Each structure stands twice: as C-alpha cells, then as structure tokens.
Chain A
Amino acid sequence: NAGVTQTPKFRILKIGQSMTLQCTQDMNHNYMYWYRQDPGMGLKLIYYSVGAGITDKGEVPNGYNVSRSTTEDFPLRLELAAPSQTSVYFCASIAGGGGSTGELFFGEGSRLTVL
C-alpha cells in the first residue's frame, strides 16, 4: 500500500542547476498538490492539479513548473535553482467526489538544498 511516493528524499543543487522532484500516487486520486515548507513555517502551495492534463498555480509558483500527463504522476521541475528554493517539498493527493473522506495524503517529503 504505497500511497504517495516522492523521490529523491534529499538533494543538494548548485545555483543555476535544474532538477525534477518526482511524485506518484496509487490511490487513483484526481487532485494532487505540491507544497514547500520553510523552517518553522506552514505549507505554501506551489502548484496543484485537479486531473490529468490540468494544472494551476498556487501561492508561490515562480521558479517551478509542473505537468500532469497521467492520474498517477505529478512531477515538479525546478529551473535555474536559487538559494531561495532551499526548502522541504511535499507532494500530496486527495480523492475527489462526495465520497471522499477529505483526508489529504502526503508523501514523506524531499529536502532540497541549493548552494
């Protein structure tokens, strides 16, 4: 019962490098989200998707891109990494529809450091 799986768990990047954080869920959830959490802070929404082929910006989308080609996968791409993107990133998903329990399921998080 995998749930939401994120990779990698840790990564160090140099300024200007690019990388992709992978996220996949096996619960057939329509809605998927990417958040970042800075030390001592709450979660800020980067991008979200309500289904395959549909994505939308959250509160802090600058410097990131996403795609949703399948229901299962929602990768987050960082272009031209900057120190301000040093953070812990969480991918999450939630079922849609009236039968949903409303619980948002999280991946374990990816700690990214940009030096």
Chain B
Amino acid sequence: EDKVVQSPLSLVVHEGDTVTLNCSYEVTNFRSLLWYKQEKKAPTFLFMLTSSGIEKKSGRLSSILDKKELSSILNITATQTGDSAIYLCAVRTQGGSEKLVFGKGTKLTVNP
C-alpha cells in the first residue's frame, strides 16, 4: 500500500524563525513529489520534485528530495504570519496507475 508520512503534524513558531517540514514515502513506481499550501480553501501548488535531486526555490521557500532516503524537506526561512497554513505533501506514481497520494499535512502556525 502506498504511504506518505509527514512530520511534524503541527508546529508553532514565532515570526522570523526558520522551519523544516518533512515528508517520507513508500510507494510503488515513484514519479514525483508535490508540495502544496492550504489555507481556507483548495490547496495551492508550491513545488514539484523528481528523482533528479534538484532543489527548488521560491522566495523564502525551498525544497529538495532525497531519493535514497525516500523523503523530502520543505524549508521556510524568516517565517511570516502569512505562512500559517497546512502544508501538504503528495506523491505521484506512474506505470499505468497514476495515483496521487497525500500525507496528513503539517499545520504550521506562525505567531507575531
């Protein structure tokens, strides 16, 4: 059974802190890993990572995949209250069964 595990499940920090969110996976026929941010409504896309190991960056957010460890991290530097959200990790499989399986998410709260 395909599995995606995120940690921690919740995290409370102060503005300006740096956070690291973790995602590990056990799936058949890995294709890619996706990170999403969810506030009130539907998740919004952050990054897609593949086994190439190339780091992705966007402003204060960055993410990389470790294909040996079957895991990924999402870093957020100089956190702001607007970063408060649930961060979701999803893994996409390939080879006829193009499933997209999500983890439970990490709820990040950034206090002023």
Interface string of A75-106 (1 = CB under 8 A from B): 00000000000000010101010000111101
Minimum CB–CB distance for B10 against chain A, Å: 9
Q: Residue B97 contacts which of A33, A43, A44, A56 (CB distance < 8 angstroms)? A: A56
A positions within 8 Å CB-CB of B: 31, 33, 35, 40-45, 48, 50, 56, 58-59, 90, 92, 94, 96, 101-104, 106-109
Minimum CB–CB distance for B49 against chain A, Å: 9
Q: Determine if B100 and A33 form an interchain contact, defined as CB atoms under 8 angstroms apart.
A: yes
* Majority SS at the chain B contact face: strand
Q: Which residues of B contact A42 (CB under 8 A)?
A: 6, 86, 88, 102-105
Q: If the complex has contacts A41-B105, A102-B92, are A48 and B41 also in contact, measured as CB distance less than 8 A? A: no
Q: Residue B99 contacts which of A58, A90, A109 (CB distance < 8 angstroms)? A: A58
User: Which B32-61 residues have a C-beta within 8 angstroms of A?
Assistant: 32, 34, 36, 41-43, 45, 48
Interface string of B12-44 (1 = CB under 8 A from A): 000000000000000000001010100001110
Q: How far is the CA of A45 from the CA of B4 in the complex (A)?
A: 12
Q: Residue A109 contacts which of B42, B48, B86 (CB distance < 8 angstroms)? A: B42
Minimum CB–CB distance for A113 against chain B, Å: 17
CB nearest to A50 among chain B residues: B98
- Residue from B42, B104, B105 with most neighbouring chain A CB atoms (10 Å): B42
User: Which B90-112 residues have a C-beta within 8 angstroms of A?
Assistant: 90, 92, 96-105, 107
